[in-house]
Structure formats: C-alpha cells, structure tokens
Amino acid sequence: MGSIQLINLATVEQNTQICADHHLIILKDNGVTSAATRPGQFVNLVIPQRPDLFLRRPFSVAKTDPEKNLLYIVYRIVGEGTQAMSELKTGTKVDLMGPLGVGWHLPESPGNSLLIGGGCGVAPLWGLAEYIADKGGRVFTVLGFQSEDKVFGEDVFKAVEADITVTTDDGSYGEAGFVCDHLEASLNQSIDRAYVCGPMPMVKTVIPKLLEKDIEGEVSLEEIMGCGFGVCLSCVTEIEQDGRIEKQRICTEGPVFSIKEVKW
Ligand SMILES: Cc1cc2nc3c(=O)[nH]c(=O)nc-3n(C[C@H](O)[C@H](O)[C@H](O)COP(=O)(O)OP(=O)(O)OC[C@H]3O[C@@H](n4cnc5c(N)ncnc54)[C@H](O)[C@@H]3O)c2cc1C
Ligand code: FES
C-alpha cells in the first residue's frame, strides 16, 4: 500500500518519560492522520519552537486510537530535535506530515505471528500486535533491552495476551542476554510470519535465524532522512527483487521490507 501524504496539525495530549531511555508523546489530531495511519508507517514532525531545525524529524507511529483521534509515538532523545520534543507541554500544536511509507503487511488471517523488537524498535510493533490480536491471530514476542530501567511497552503486549519473552543484556530483567539468544522457543511455535524492528546489530543476528527456518518475515529499516517523501534520495538502500538488485527509498518503498529482499 502506498503512502498518503498529508500535512496536519495535532495537539500534544501527553508527553512523558516511560523508562530511562524513552518518552511517549500522544498527539490528538482532527481524525484524518490518526485514521489513515497503518501499523509500521511513520510521520514527519516539525519541532515547534525550533524553526532553526530545518528538516522535519521522522518517527514511527507506535499505535493509533482512531476513535479518540490519537497517535502514539515513542522516542529517544539523541539530539536537539528530540530534546526540544521532550519539552513540549500538553496543548502545544505540532505540525505533522503523514502517514508516510509502507507499513507492515497486514494479513486478513494472521495466524501465529512473531514480533521481535529491540529498544526503540519495540514501539512500532504495538499497533501491529493490536491488529493481529483483533484479527484472531496469536502474538509471540521477543523484546530486547539493555537493562531493567530501559524496559517499556510490555503492557501493550500483555493487553493482547501475547506470549512475551523479555531479554536484557545485563540480566537485570527477564532473560539474560540478547534477543537472538532467546528466539529458539518462539521459532518452534510454527510461526506464520515474523516482524522485526530494532537496532541493526540485533536485526543482523535475528534475520539469518528466520531465514534458516524459512520463515516469511518483514523488517522495518531506519536511515537518516532528508525529505521523508521520496524526493531527496538520501535514504536509498539495496533490495533484491526477482534476482535483480534495485535501489529503493526507505521512506517511500519502505521502511518495511521483506527480510528476503534486503541486501545485508
Ligand atoms: C522511518 C523512521 C522512523 C523512526 N522512528 C523513530 C521512533 O519511533 N522513535 C525514535 O526515537 N526515533 C525514530 N527515528 C529516528 C529519529 O528520526 C531521529 O532520532 C531524530 O530525527 C533525531 O533528531 P534530533 O534532532 O534529536 O537529532 P539530530 O541532531 O538530527 O541527530 C542526533 C544524532 O542522531 C542521529 N540520527 C538522526 N536521525 C537518525 C535516523 N533517522 N536514524 C538513525 N540515527 C539518526 C544523527 O546521526 C546524530 O548522530 C526514526 C527514523 C526513521 C527514518
Ligand atoms: S528521505 Fe528523501 S527520498 Fe527518502
């Protein structure tokens, strides 16, 4: 499904820290973007009060609540834009463009779905988990964090009765180690489709295990973006389709790609 490009205004409903590393901002719009956004798509935000930050900043929509016109975004402070974002007060107007990109493939009958996320990459799986549960599918999830104080989002998966494995690198919460060390039990559950989102080192260890088992899957990629809607070509990656290597834009042909197509 291609993206619909809209510019819309939204109001900050809530902006709070949810763990040592991440904040959750909930935006309320006029019902247009929140209704149109599918799991895995992203929006491009202008950071209010910082007109000097020339480029919009891209953020995955973690989930939406179309009945209340809400969009949920989980973010990590890495620079000036996200620092300014963390200071936005309830009631502030935010200019957003979106939904952008192609989100997760959403089967009508999802079956057993394995959602694998690391750090910030856990959030773009929220709306997907809700969709799968809503369609009668079963959600298995393996979520990786550095340590207990950085764990977030488990409640969303509990609410859909997911089978949840949490790992922490230092063993302070859940299973000790990395996500790829604890995939085996989930991979033995006759998984119909896997969905992966997280830092590249995690992605690169997880994908070969899925390919080995011949599991169909998708991965959400991130790249530093200029425009976010296909014009500047700053986000191009190599994709293999029908035996040919093609250059594709993560912002428009992605950010979600088949794990069999990405050239690692
Ligand atoms: C499709 C997509 C979805 C994203 N979803 C989320 C999300 O849900 N939550 C979240 O916290 N972040 C997400 N990001 C990353 C987010 O866009 C950047 O962290 C943000 O733009 C940084 O802005 P800044 O002004 O704070 O930092 P800057 O001052 O612009 O940069 C600070 C540091 O972050 C690095 N950086 C900037 N942009 C990116 C990027 N796109 N990918 C990797 N490193 C980057 C820079 O190289 C620099 O080292 C997403 C990016 C993309 C492309
Ligand atoms: S960010 Fe400009 S083409 Fe993708």
One-character DSSP codes across 62-80: -EEEGGGTEEEEEEE--SH
pLDDT given for residue 120 in this prediction:
96
CA–centroid distance, 29 to ligand 2, in Å, is 25
For residue 86, give its domain range: 7-100
2 belongs to a structural domain: no
Assess whether the C-beta atom of 223 lies below 6 angstroms from ligand 2.
no
Establish whether residue 123 lines the binding site of ligand 1, counting it when its CB lies within 6 angstroms of any ligand atom. yes
The answer on 125 and 195 residing in a single domain is yes
Q: How far is the CA of 57 from the centre of ligand 1 (A)?
A: 7
Which of 136, 15, 131 has its CA nearest to residue 73? 15
Residues 128, 65 share a domain: no
For residues 54 and 23, membership in a common domain is answered with yes
Say how many Å lie between the CA of residue 185 and the centre of ligand 1.
Answer: 33
73 and 144 housed in the same domain: no
pLDDT digits (tens), the chain, 264 positions: 444 558 889 999 999 999 999 999 999 999 999 999 999 999 999 988 888 988 999 999 999 999 999 999 999 999 999 999 999 999 999 999 999 999 999 999 999 999 999 999 999 999 999 999 999 999 999 999 999 999 999 999 999 999 999 999 999 999 999 999 999 888 888 999 999 999 999 999 999 999 999 999 999 998 889 999 999 999 999 888 778 899 999 999 999 999 998 877
Ligand 1: centre distance to CA 213 (Å): 32
CATH of the domain at 202: 3.40.50.80
Task: Say how many Å lie between the CA of residue 63 and the centre of ligand 1.
Answer: 18
Q: List the CATH number of the domain containing 16.
A: 2.40.30.10
Bridge partners of residue 71, in order along the sequence: 27, 64
* Residue 228, domain member (yes or no): no
pLDDT of residue 241: 78
Residue 105 lies in a domain: no
Ligand nearest to the CA of 231: 2
In a domain, 54, yes or no: yes
Domain boundary among 206, 229, 247: 206
Based on the structure, what is the number of domains in the chain?
Answer: 2
Tokens, residue 102: 């192609």
- Based on the domain organization, do 159 and 121 belong to the same domain? yes
Residue 232 lies inside a defined structural domain of this protein: no
Asked whether residue 118 falls in the same domain as residue 191, the answer is yes
Q: Which atom of ligand 1 is nearest to the CA of 250?
A: 1
Q: Which of 183, 262, 180 is nearest to 221 (CA)?
A: 262
Q: Has residue 252 been placed in a domain?
A: no
Q: Are residues 192 and 117 in the same domain?
A: yes
Ligand 1 pocket test: which of 50, 52, 82, 235 has the largest number of ligand atoms within 8 Å of its C-beta? 82
Q: Are 143 and 195 in a shared domain?
A: yes
For strands 244-249 and 193-197, give the pairing: unpaired
Name the domain boundary from 206, 221, 242.
Answer: 206
131 and 59, same domain (yes or no) = no
Whether 253 maps to a domain, the answer reads no
Q: What angle do CA 25, 26, 30 make, to 5 degrees?
A: 140
Tell me if 229 CB under 6 Å of ligand 1.
no
Q: Judge if 202 and 117 occupy the same domain.
A: yes
> Same structural domain for residues 166 and 125?
yes
The atom number, within ligand 1, closest to the CA of 85 reads 26
pTM: 0.95
Q: Are residues 118 and 174 in the same domain?
A: yes
Helices marked H in the chain: 32-36, 80-86, 126-134, 154-159, 184-187, 200-212
